[in-house]
Structure 1
Amino acid sequence: MPAPQSNKIGSPNRPMPKGRAIDPIRVLRRYWKGIPIWAIVGAILGAAAFFVFARVYPLYSGDVMFEVRPGLGNATDIATTDTISDKMVERVAATQIFMIKERSILTEAVSDRTIEGTDWIKQFWDVDANVVLVDDAVDELLEELRTIIKRGTNLYGVGWSAHVATDVPIMLNAIAKAYMRRTTELDEESFRSNAELFEDQGRHIRFKLQDLNDDLQAFIQKKGITTLDDARFSATMVEIQRLTENAIENRQALITLQQRYLQIAAKLDGTMESTMEDRLLAEKDPIISRQVQILESLEANLRALRDRLDPSHPQIKDAEITVKATKDQIESKIETIIRRNLTAQMREADSSKEQITAALERTESEIEVKDAALRDLAANQSQFEGMEQTRKQLELQRDENQRLISSLKLMQLRVDASRVRRLTPALEPREKSFPKLEIMLPAGIVLAIGAFVGIIFLRELTDHKIRSASDVFIIPGAKVAGVLPDIHEDPSGLETPELALLHSSDGVFAESCRQAWAGINRSLQQSAHQTLLLLSAAPEAGTTTIVGNFAIASQLSGCKTVVLDCNFRRPCLASMFEFDDVASGVADLLVGSASIAGCVQTTESGVDVISAGTPANRISQRLGSEKMKSILAELRDSYDLVLIDAPPSIVAGDALLLANLVDALALVVHSDRDERGLVARVLRELGESRAEILGVMLNAAVGTVGGYFRKNYLAMVSYSELEEEDE
């Protein structure tokens, strides 16, 4: 195996065109003088904006805070619960903030008489109707209110900003007043509804208890008894228990016989294998014993012949055939005896089953007779005990209901039962919340510098798509391994690029494939590489097409070539060569269910193809395993070149796994579709593998069959036509 080569791409094979690549350092160094100038401009604009906003649009902010209280665990508790979970606090706070911002509460706050003296409400005053437009004021307030939840505490609240400092506490205190009034109303309504519910439950329990007492009295009078003897210790009960035990034993015996019967039947039908006990019983048969003695004699004779004669001697062959025939005869007789024994066992089990079934029927009949007598005895006792138990439960429910009603009334009288309380009133703010010089000045500088840098980079920015070989050279360290033209601009009128070297060998596309392969092959031979991985950055780049044409070119040049389809996600390499993609292939080799010789399919052109394999075995993680490494090593010993088709790097990491197992790789890029950034990223990822990167194969390039390449391609076509005419 050749020594691992450096995985660096190397220097470009021609100068990098100017004006397309963006070097941030170079751009910033070119325009560095503008950065401090625009920073000064931004500082001036920030200071100017500060004074302007401070004059025409000042804002004063304030807040009013509330506390989520743990509440009372019981009405008789001296104080509230010490702690409450953070999640519960957040849920309660979020619910209460939603209630604060409820439209009815804000409407009540806006309608408060204290709000009439604020400057904020004047903007909603209808001069013609001499009324406040409450709905518009509430809409504005909903947009301006800020929600506050202090993490790690029991505090929450709302904040508000206004252009006049005195308006802030008036509005926030009006909102807090309306909110607390609404909270008190909800608490009182909750207490009232709960009390009504408990009282209804209490009345229902008392009615049920009275009805039950009446039923008990009637029962006692009807039966003429106050209690009943316990039926569990009567002679009838003891007899039923004895009969029940006998019935259980018979059922268990019947189930066991039925299972044995089914097992024997399954063995006779062939749906179940005979057990070792069946075989040992059959081997004790005298017929088998005699056959075994004959077999031992024949085996002893065979060993003696092997000691005296050569293994290929006819007598040894005849003896081996005789021994094998005797063994087969013994096995056949054993099977016959097993079936005979099983048939006898089935008849025996069937007879026992009939006897036990008859005994079980007699026992069950006796149990029914005894049970009827016992039911009459126990019915009255069971009914009486049930009614007594129900009365006790109803009495307990009545007592618990009375306790709940008392606790609810006591809790309603306590002030600390509420879950929410107002913590602090809103105060008049002393400083403006907007604008602030320490924010406006840096913001102006950052925005000015950002605008300047954005403008200069926007001017430097151009199209990112790769359209020609010159676009590849823009990528740092990248080089072009070959350029293939778009088939629609091929003068020979090629319909499909697949296997163009076979179907249209004189076309421009076929000649481009030969030229590209010549460069790739030269790099492979210089480094003594035997395995080449072809992959693309994005889907539909034409990797499989290039693999097929390269395989034909390699085979025609005299190299024994094999191609592997390692694209487990969308395999199509085998079908391109008119083979089945789901035939045994790479996936089956990785799991060890097939050999290389059994997976190879040879084309008419001499190229060997190994498909992706059966779908059930296509597990992409195995592509980087030691098994894959050993498969490639074995293929290196049998072939001059191993070509591997891999899935796109952007949608699968399979190619990166394979890149560490092969000698070299080439990246296929589709013209006018793939972007430089994507290709550069893939090349960086591949650069960390052990494989040598031979370069980028540019596929479907429009420029290659136009411009200064067009004359060369037309010359190729005309030269081929002249050769055909001369022949």
Structure 2
Amino acid sequence: MPAHHTQTAGDDDEIDLMELFRALWRGKWLIALSALVALVLGGYYAVGVAEPQYRATAQLTLEVRTGQVVDLESVMTGVSTEQAALNTEIEIITSRRILGKLVDTLDLAQDPEFNTALEPPSALARIKGALAGMLTGADGAGAAEGGYEKSPRDRAIDALRERLSASVQRDTYVFNISATTGDAEKSARILNMLADLYLQEQIAVKFEATEQAVAWLSKRVTELEADLREKEDTLKAARAETELISPEALEGLNLQAKTLRERLEEMRAGVEAAQAELDRLTELRAAGNRAAAVEATGDATLRRLLQSLREGETDAGGMFDQRLEALVSRAASGYDRQLSQVNALAESYRTLQERIERQSADLVRIEQMRREVETTRTLYETFLTRLKETTVQRGLQQADSRVLSDAIPGEKVAPRTSLILALSMVLGLMAGAAIVLVRQFLHDTFRAAADIEAATGLPVLGQIPKMPVRERKDLIGYLKDRPTSAPAEAIRNLRTSLLLSDIDHPPQIIMSTSALPGEGKTTQAVALAQNLAGLDKSVLLIEGDIRRRTFAQYFSDVPAGGVLTALSGEVPLNEVVFHDERLGADILMGEKSRANAADLFSSDKFRAFLARAREAYDFVIIDTPPVLVVPDARVIGQHADAILFSVAWDSTQRGQVLAALREFESANLGITGIALAQIDPKGMRRYGYGGKYGAYGAYGQGYYDAG
């Protein structure tokens, strides 16, 4: 028997774009229906549900070059032309303050379009209200505690902001303002009033700023005037209390001090020289070296007396000492005189220096007070001038913007029927495609032989359409009366593929099974027996599913006895089976047994029974229970030459089929081939396979009888 090969790992992870396209093409009618439904719903919404909306537009421009009535600098300058400033003006136009004035002026709080509380509640609103009442209590206390309840004016402002839009036209100073409402005239009226209120707000802000500036400047001028007078009085008092001196006189005193300082330095140098001379003479006198004294002093009298002393005059030594003492006394007197002069000059210099420092401090203080007076006078005059200019400006304020284009009755902008229809159709196509693709991706059954072969690695020997009979007992009659019909040809094709699966050793015992009940295995076994009998072959059809025993629904006048009687060997085989003329084959019915069916089919009696059947019949077909329900099929399969596995079209899940095949693998059994059973031809055409597979395909028309 051929071995079973599973699908290569990873194949399921690949996305086949052509398969996606084919899936979309197969679901084209569903996609078209979805698009049509969406188109109808969109048209109904655009024509019968959506309320028309009208948009009006006004233009305002920023006055970059503002004409001045008088050449005065404004207290509040114009609007900046930077992008941030322009965007700020946009926010001002749509601010709650200006919109509140607009709501009050036009009484929009009493307009149901802007105050939804005035509209009768819709069915959806009533449902929401009922649910809210259930959640918060019948008395509505929960709603009151839930948060702030907006006033009609606040609700109108919120609604108005949603219906307004403002923007700056690129590379210009032009503001575009739009309003969208349910009335063309109302849209224009709202915009024109909004523009007027915005310009009035600009003037009012400037006037208010000017008034505040006048009040502040008046107060500041008064304060500066009092401060100026106080500083002037303080300056006068300071001048009266101090010795008046000018910077020039102070400069003269500095020159005088410089002269005294230079003279004092010279005299101090003389004192130091006299001190040195006195010290030298004192040292000579104390040393008693007369020759050194004469040499040091250079005095002629001392030199003469020294010569006399050397010549031997006795009184010359006394005279020499007297003369040296006189020189020392004279040097001491000179030193004391110079020192007294230096001290007197130093005292004069100190007194002069104190006078200069005192007068310099007074001059700095006076100059500081004078500068403060001048600064205060300048500031006072500046503020006084500014006060006069600002007072003049109070009657000259004008807005920084002007209306460039008034709003006219708006044009209809919603609903855009053509756009809604186009979007509805696109959404419908997308929804339909999504449904088709989701159904394709969630699809876990088999609709084509190629899918089964790719998933299991087993050949599909036949594709059997659903038999067009109401009851099972009509099956044999249908196949006998319509031998050229599509189902009969499909069974014939299955028979051929099965017999050719092993040309050298054609199968004699054929087992028909499936993964689950209701997959057409029994119908397939009966039809295959009828087809093999048509070859003038002796065929035995065995009901191996002794638990359900459904053969009685296909055949009438069934005699007593069956599988259990045949296994006992007490009755000849030809006496246990019965021959059905319509089928053209012998039938061995199942019998109810107290013994376990799997044990029964595992016995040597069953093996011996099949050996006798091989000798008596050309073909033996055994209908077995589903492999995932009971183990009977795996037991019987040990004696079969071929195992035919039925898979119900678009019904049996992929996992169930693979699980059933693994059961056979665990028993070391190979599946000969798969039969795709219970195929719905209309369904195959709906999924796009009608022109490709099997005798029920479109190209088979004309070769097979209908029905």
TM-score normalized by structure 1? Answer: 0.37
TM-score normalized by structure 2? Answer: 0.38
The structure having more radius of gyration, on CA atoms, is 2
